[in-house]
């Protein structure tokens, strides 16, 4: 069914494009005819259309010149020299590109930074968040979670989101998370703290859901830490400090 739908969509697009092309091509021909660009037709007996001029390309000399022009090798443009990029060079380039994308631009205010980065983060998380929400819905149905319990969970998660943002903003301000340099040890340290915070959510969930419901959620493959990691409002993070020159 999915394959048939994709095939129908492709053929529909091709049909629309072809129709548009034929429409504009036909309109162009009508315009040329209306302007009298076509050859004049004889209107009376004896009237004759002007004799067509001989086609110069039909002459032997023209054909020979055209053949020489087509077969004479032309100078080929010089290609740029290939540069072998080492793994370290590639890593340095990607770090620079990441800093240019997620770092502060020269003279960029915090509001301007949020306006530039916020939509980018939202777009990148749009599909993963939709999938996470659907997984939660399915898991809660299997665990027989009531709407009231689900609302209580959301309320408890609001505080978790606030703690996660405060923790991340501090890491950004301290330079532990910096878009301008590779700090693997800092990233791992931050990730460990974040994992601990998200893991503690299970204790709050256990205060709202019964033991059987918690067990059913786990058996379904759903994980609250993963869900909260996607649903956290990362768009509201504080901008990093400007780069040091």
- Is 158 exposed, middle or buried, given 0-12, 13-18 or 19+ CB atoms closer than 10 A? exposed
The model's confidence at residue 49, banded by pLDDT at 50, 70 and 90, is low
Q: Output Rg (C-alpha) for the chain, integer angstroms.
A: 34
Q: Share the mean pLDDT of the chain.
A: 77
* 113-164 confidence digits (pLDDT tens): 999 999 999 999 999 999 999 999 999 999 999 999 999 999 999 999 999 9
* Phi, psi dihedral angles at 198 (to 5 degrees): -70, -30
The pTM assigned to this predicted structure is: 0.60
pLDDT tens digits for range 159-182: 999 999 999 999 999 989 999 998
Q: 189 and 175 in contact (C-beta within 8 Å)? A: no
pLDDT 10s digits, 78-107: 666 666 788 888 988 998 999 999 999 989
């Amino acid at each position: 069914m999915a394959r048939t739908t994709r095939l129908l969509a492709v053929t529909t697009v091709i049909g629309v494009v072809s129709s548009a092309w034929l429409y504009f091509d036909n309109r162009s021909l009508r315009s040329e005819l209306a302007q009298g660009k076509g050859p004049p037709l004889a209107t009376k007996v004896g009237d004759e259309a002007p004799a067509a001029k001989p086609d110069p390309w039909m002459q032997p000399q023209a054909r020979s010149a055209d053949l020489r022009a087509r077969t004479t090798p032309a100078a080929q443009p010089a290609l740029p020299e290939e540069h072998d990029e080492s793994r370290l060079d590639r890593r340095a380039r990607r770090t620079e590109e990441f800093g240019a994308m997620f770092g502060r631009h020269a003279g960029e205010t915090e509001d301007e930074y949020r306006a530039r980065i916020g939509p980018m983060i939202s777009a990148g998380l749009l599909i993963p968040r939709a999938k996470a929400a659907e997984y939660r819905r399915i898991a809660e149905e299997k665990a027989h979670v009531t709407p009231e319990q689900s609302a209580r969970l959301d309320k408890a998660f609001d505080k978790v989101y606030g703690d996660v943002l405060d923790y991340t903003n501090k890491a950004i301000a301290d330079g532990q998370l910096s878009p301008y340099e590779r700090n693997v040890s800092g990233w791992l340290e931050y990730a460990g703290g974040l994992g601990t915070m998200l893991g503690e959510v299970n204790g709050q969930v256990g205060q709202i859901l019964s033991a059987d419901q918690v067990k059913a959620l786990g058996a379904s493959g759903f994980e609250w830490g993963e869900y909260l990691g996607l649903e956290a409002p990362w768009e509201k993070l504080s901008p990093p400090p400007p780069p040091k020159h």
